């Protein structure tokens, strides 16, 4: 077996996520979900009726019933400084999904919430000519695995699911409570 560098492992994980989304059956959930499943990272409550994909290579995806909005959680054991590395993660994800005509780029650091430090990086672009926003949220629990919430959505998806996404963000907590 050929050893993979961290960026290659990440890209492989992203490819496996895409494969899982296209072939796996989905679970429905409205109960609290731990991520990763072993409880070493965070927990959140997905909106009622949203599909939660089974964890594949450490990645979980949540999709709205209408299919126009989704977000993923990706574990990052190797990130030492989430504040500085989140921009690179966001740009790498944007390149991978062929986000073009990118504009903006706004970073912010959130306050600790229930023992969970949040870092945010957002920017805009186009996928197949359609306006989209990319949001990455670095989640750093006091103990446990760091992870990134990754969301790319068309403009109409943001408007339609803004309230639900805010509820997800408010439900985030360290899994080890």
Using the CB atoms, write b or e for 90-103: b if 16+ within 10 Å: bbebbeeeebeebe
Calculate ∠ Cα 87-150-112, nearest 5°: 75
Task: Indicate if the pLDDT at residue 56 is higher than 90.
Answer: no
Bin 64: left if φ > 0, else alpha if -120 < ψ < 50, else beta: beta
Amino acid 30: pLDDT: 61
Task: Identify the weakest region by mean pLDDT among 33-47, 60-74, 81-95.
Answer: 81-95
Distance between CA atoms of residues 129 and 154, nearest Å: 10
Task: Indicate if the pLDDT at residue 24 is higher than 50.
Answer: no
What percentage of the chain carries pLDDT values higher than 70? 82
Distance between CA atoms of residues 166 and 7, nearest Å: 30
Amino acid 63: pLDDT: 92
Amino acid 123: pLDDT: 86
Question: Residue 3: exposed, middle, or buried by beta-carbon count in 10 A (0-12, 13-18, 19+)?
Answer: exposed
Domains along the chain?
6-20+49-174 (3.40.1000)
- Mean pLDDT taken over the chain: 78
**Residue 22, number of CB atoms within 10 A of its CB:** 7
Q: In what order do the strands lie in the sheet with 130-141?
A: 27-28, 51-52, 60-63, 70-75, 147-154, 130-141, 116-127, 100-109
In sequence order, what are the residues at sequence separation of 6 or more whose Cβ sits closer than 8 angstroms to the Cβ of residue 16? 56, 57, 59
In tens, the pLDDT along 106-131 reads 788 876 777 888 888 888 888 888 88
């Amino acid at each position: 077996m050929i050893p993979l560098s961290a960026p290659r492992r990440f890209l492989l994980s992203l490819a496996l996520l895409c494969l899982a989304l296209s072939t796996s059956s989905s679970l429905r959930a409205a109960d609290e979900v731990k991520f990763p499943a072993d409880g070493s990272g965070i927990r959140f409550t997905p909106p009622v009726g949203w599909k939660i994909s089974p964890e594949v290579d450490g990645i979980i995806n949540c999709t709205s019933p209408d299919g126009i909005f989704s977000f993923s959680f990706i574990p990052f054991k190797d990130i030492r400084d989430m504040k500085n590395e989140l921009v690179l993660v966001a740009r790498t994800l944007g390149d991978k999904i062929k986000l073009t005509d990118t504009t903006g780029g706004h970073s912010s650091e959130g306050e600790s919430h229930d023992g969970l430090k949040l870092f945010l990086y957002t920017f805009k672009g186009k996928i197949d000519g359609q306006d989209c926003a990319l949001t990455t949220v670095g989640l750093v629990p006091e103990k446990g695995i760091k992870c990134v919430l990754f969301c790319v959505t068309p403009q109409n998806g943001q408007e339609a699911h803004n309230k639900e996404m805010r509820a997800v963000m408010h439900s985030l907590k360290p899994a080890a409570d």
